[in-house]
Chains A and B, each alone.
Chain A
């Protein structure tokens, strides 16, 4: 009989913990990321995202539990793990007066060599001039250099800590495209973020972490329920305001009326709200995405938490 060997998951953690004391750290993380998946790791500042990533990279030692990358133990087999991983840290390292091309050659040399064509393509794609000194780079360019370093050796797994911070919108789009291509080429991506729309944009699944604990691993549909916008609508003076219709529209919450202005939050699709406004004369409509902290505060308060996990 032929025995089928099942490939190990790209990332697997069992009760992984790092306790820094006074309730800080990461606690009993059970997580599995399968191959060829873009997994978003979402949480507010200080929730434990970077701690998880450093544990996976073997930079810090767990106080409990285990972490495996492609079946390799992240502590015991950390060298072999890193052969398979491309890493982008949350804070770009400082290379002082080295030029961009020297940084690439230095870190490429530590991996046994540089794929020059790949580097050329990546640098050109992000319009990153490698002849300039690191200390002369803007923060966006430093981030681009870190992206090139993470992707240059075509790793099987990319572990990226808030990869788009400092990038302008055009380069963010370019980065998302690169992520999709990388996934299509067979790689797995684990990226952390505190921007809900970002993970919604590029990820297949999302793990949500708060206060060092994994709250939920959500599918994209779940995210749409979480996603919330603050909306401010201004009506033409003296025209009727469809207050009742707006209040009744699906997804509309916390509505307040004040003169010719209405504020509310919208969860999920905007269609019901727009339908409620169809006969009104709207002079201004502003929609803003609240910070992730606000989303968490509003959504992960006890009743909603029960609702999500049910």
Chain B
């Protein structure tokens, strides 16, 4: 029991954050539905058609909606199904955090020293995560109920419980899988390996909606079993067998993880590659990269830069290959033909590619910025910042170098993304304007800088809360773009969102006002960060 309470305490900010995210996301979507849906059956049918068109473009992320002309169908599609991705990320972070980060901090060792068995420790963490998931899913369900109440419509209580339970089951399955994978590898690869496995399972399911040859393998993916249940809207239902399979995956994976944890050495991997012992070396590294500011930061992250570039390139190829399929789906929706005919002879493919790929690319670059900011705040607590400041280096220089490293890394990833998109689209017979593609790719750098500027400010103000607050900022920024026009928010408020400022550069070119605003936002973040950094105390 004590171990469960400790685990809950360690994960309290995750529980609070994801509960809040689940609540806000579902509530805002439910309320937004009533803002945009209208009241007549015709208006709602039109919204349903629009949502179907949107779903066709997002087919690699979300399952097709059921009755998107109803609030339940709309929230299942935009709320619960999006939260499934968010909760999978939470499961990944939480499981690898326990399996490796807590182990490196010595927390696991001290818990085991109290006489808690390894199996019991794993069990306590799984149980604590299940409790956290249940709280967050309940909050998401409650938000739907409140949102529907605001529109004076009715709902079936049992369906809300089923939707929330489905979310919990998926989260637990992802937690178990992440926990298992992180037992198998060395600590430094655990998060990457578990993330790669989850991502592969996610795409195995979502791509099987487009590529039929993948459908024979999709039974391997827990996301498949989540998709089988869409309990919220009329016409959907909780697939009990699929739900039980999700719980089964969670149980089997968690048990296997507990067994692997029992078998392996603390700090080691279950599967160890034997190392050849060599003579000791007393020389410092001969690599010239370490000598130069900015370059040393990029060099230190070289594996990460390679992984990001490879991942972004792979996704760019994937989205280009999906573009024709998506366009064909869109052209088959009669209600959309009047709109699409405007583009058919002009820029339909760039428009679709711009919408699908660049939306995903924005999320990826926001993620890239957040990972850098997470590192900055970690440097504060692990003593690296103190050590850097013991060199003849001003605090302002530290902040500026951090930002410069991010710019350099973002430039590399954006260049790889742009080049891949160009060659892949060329190979698929889609002609993209080279200047606009270049501009769109380069726009991703100031876009990332907006998040980095906010992150720098937060890291200088309160490093321990930085990642959570920046995640909330990114989330609010995304909601601002998605729902700002729906709720008729003031233009200046909508302009604070980097997602809004990014615009549609592949179709309409670069808006210099937006670029200037993004750079100003980033500069404001960095400037305030430098001022705060000069005043604050450093050290644990």
A interface residues with partner B (beta carbon < 8 Å): 50, 54, 57-61, 78-80, 82-83, 85, 87, 89, 91-99, 101-102, 104-114, 116, 119-120, 123-124, 127-131, 135, 149
Inter-subunit contact B104/A105 (CB<8 Å): no
Using an 8 Å CB-CB cutoff, how does the interface string of B261-296 with A read, 1 for contact, 0 for none? 000000000000000001011111101001110001
Inter-subunit contact B280/A129 (CB<8 Å): yes
Inter-subunit contact A57/B285 (CB<8 Å): no
With beta carbons under 8 angstroms apart, the residue of B382, B388, B392 that contacts A83 is: B392
Using an 8 Å CB-CB cutoff, how does the interface string of B366-401 with A read, 1 for contact, 0 for none? 000000000000000011101111111110000000
Known: A94-B382, A96-B188, A135-B104. A130 touches B388 (CB 8 A): no
The residues of A that contact B281 with a CB separation of less than 8 Å are 101, 129-131
Which stretch (B50-58, B461-469, B505-513, B532-540) binds chain A?
B532-540
Minimum CB–CB distance from B501 to chain A (whole Å) comes to 35
Inter-subunit contact A130/B393 (CB<8 Å): no
Inter-subunit contact A94/B384 (CB<8 Å): yes
Minimum CB–CB distance from B34 to chain A (whole Å) comes to 49
Minimum CB–CB distance from A24 to chain B (whole Å) comes to 13
B interface residues with partner A (beta carbon < 8 Å): 104, 187-188, 278, 280-285, 287, 290-292, 296, 300, 382-384, 386-394, 535, 537-540
B278, closest chain A residue (CB): A131
Inter-subunit contact A106/B300 (CB<8 Å): yes
The residues of A that contact B283 with a CB separation of less than 8 Å are 101, 116, 119-120, 123, 130
Name 23 interchain pairs, CB-CB below 8 A, sorted by A: A58-B389, A59-B386, A60-B537, A82-B389, A87-B387, A89-B386, A91-B383, A92-B383, A101-B285, A102-B300, A104-B284, A105-B285, A106-B300, A108-B284, A109-B296, A111-B392, A119-B282, A120-B282, A120-B283, A127-B280, A129-B281, A135-B187, A135-B188
The residues of B that contact A97 with a CB separation of less than 8 Å are 188
With beta carbons under 8 angstroms apart, the residue of B284, B287, B384, B540 that contacts A95 is: B384
Give complex CA distance A285, B539 in Å.
45
- Which of A83, A92, A109, A149 counts the most chain B CB atoms within 10 A? A109
A57, closest chain B residue (CB): B390
List of 8 A-B pairs having minimum Cβ-Cβ separation, nearest first: A93-B383, A129-B280, A123-B282, A110-B391, A105-B285, A105-B290, A60-B537, A94-B382
Give complex CA distance A158, B61 in Å.
57
Inter-subunit contact A102/B290 (CB<8 Å): yes
- Give the number of A-B contacts (CB < 8 Å): 116
Known: A94-B384, A99-B285. A82 touches B540 (CB 8 A): no
Minimum CB–CB distance from B303 to chain A (whole Å) comes to 9
B540, closest chain A residue (CB): A91
Give complex CA distance A80, B280 in Å.
35
Give complex CA distance A172, B285 in Å.
26
Minimum CB–CB distance from A85 to chain B (whole Å) comes to 7
The residues of A that contact B296 with a CB separation of less than 8 Å are 106, 109
Give complex CA distance A89, B382 in Å.
12
16 additional contacts (CB under 8 A) given A82-B389, A129-B280: A54-B538, A82-B391, A87-B387, A92-B383, A93-B382, A93-B383, A94-B384, A102-B300, A104-B284, A104-B285, A107-B387, A109-B296, A110-B388, A116-B283, A119-B282, A130-B281
Inter-subunit contact A61/B383 (CB<8 Å): no
A152, closest chain B residue (CB): B284
Give complex CA distance A97, B538 in Å.
23
The residues of B that contact A87 with a CB separation of less than 8 Å are 387, 390
Inter-subunit contact B392/A61 (CB<8 Å): no
Give complex CA distance A130, B284 in Å.
7
Inter-subunit contact B535/A61 (CB<8 Å): yes
Inter-subunit contact B278/A111 (CB<8 Å): no
Give complex CA distance A54, B540 in Å.
11
B537, closest chain A residue (CB): A60
Inter-subunit contact A93/B290 (CB<8 Å): no
The residues of B that contact A104 with a CB separation of less than 8 Å are 284-285
Give complex CA distance A46, B296 in Å.
37
Give complex CA distance A253, B19 in Å.
64
- Which of B282, B384, B393, B539 counts the most chain A CB atoms within 10 A? B282
Give complex CA distance A253, B393 in Å.
53
A98, closest chain B residue (CB): B300
Minimum CB–CB distance from B277 to chain A (whole Å) comes to 10
The residues of A that contact B187 with a CB separation of less than 8 Å are 135
Known: A105-B287, A116-B284, A135-B188. A59 touches B384 (CB 8 A): no
With beta carbons under 8 angstroms apart, the residue of B287, B384, B390, B538 that contacts A82 is: B390
B391, closest chain A residue (CB): A110
Give complex CA distance A123, B284 in Å.
9
Give complex CA distance A158, B442 in Å.
46
Inter-subunit contact A109/B282 (CB<8 Å): no
- Which of A83, A89, A93 counts the most chain B CB atoms within 10 A? A93
Give complex CA distance A107, B390 in Å.
9
Inter-subunit contact A79/B290 (CB<8 Å): no
The residues of A that contact B383 with a CB separation of less than 8 Å are 89, 91-94
The residues of B that contact A101 with a CB separation of less than 8 Å are 281, 283-285
Give complex CA distance A187, B529 in Å.
36
Inter-subunit contact B387/A108 (CB<8 Å): no
B398, closest chain A residue (CB): A110
The residues of B that contact A85 with a CB separation of less than 8 Å are 390
Known: A106-B300, A107-B391, A110-B388. A119 touches B382 (CB 8 A): no
A119, closest chain B residue (CB): B284
Inter-subunit contact A102/B285 (CB<8 Å): yes
The residues of A that contact B535 with a CB separation of less than 8 Å are 61
